[in-house]
Amino acid sequence: MPESGYTGPEEGGADQQAEQKIVGRRLREARETLGLKQDDVAGALGIPRTSVVAMEAGRRNVTALELRRLARLYRRSVEWLLGETTTAGSVDNALYRATADLSEEDKEQILRFAQFLAAAGPAPRPGKRNPPPPPFTAAGEEQEQGSP
């Protein structure tokens, strides 16, 4: 390997292909998570659908500008799309999609449950006991005197 650390196309070809496959998998996962079609992405980027297919298959390089636009479209970080981080907020996206069509009353109930879980702290480990969680009160509600 040269001193600069650069690997030319002959030396780094396999690495580049592997990286393109990772990016392609991430692009497809992000698109499918949002329920978008390849045609939707192609239209948003102003490129042919076949280019989206090739990017997701790891057969086409993604330009820096396309990567930035894709990150915005998919609501993901560029780092995640490049495979440099493992957290994508996919749980957040799934929660958003799952609750998007619920009534306001149902959304409030889910929020109260999430606050309850957050107040309860981490799940107990086998063989260890966690202290009891603090009493739950909904946002903006006062606790009655004498109640736990």
**Domain containing 109: what range?**
89-121
Q: Are residues 75 and 21 in the same domain?
A: yes
| Cα–Cα distance, 92 to 83 (Å, whole number) | 18
Mean pLDDT, rounded, for 15-26: 91
> Do residues 98 and 76 share a domain?
no
Do 25 and 67 lie in a common domain? yes
Total length of the chain: 148
Q: In this structure, is residue 134 part of a structural domain?
A: no
Regarding whether 32 and 93 lie in a shared domain, the answer is no
CA 94 to chain centre: 9
pLDDT in tens, 88-134: 565 666 777 778 888 889 888 888 888 888 788 777 666 666 566 66
Strands (E), the chain: none
pTM attached to this predicted model: 0.54
Number of structural domains in the chain = 2
Q: Identify whether 66 is part of a domain.
A: yes
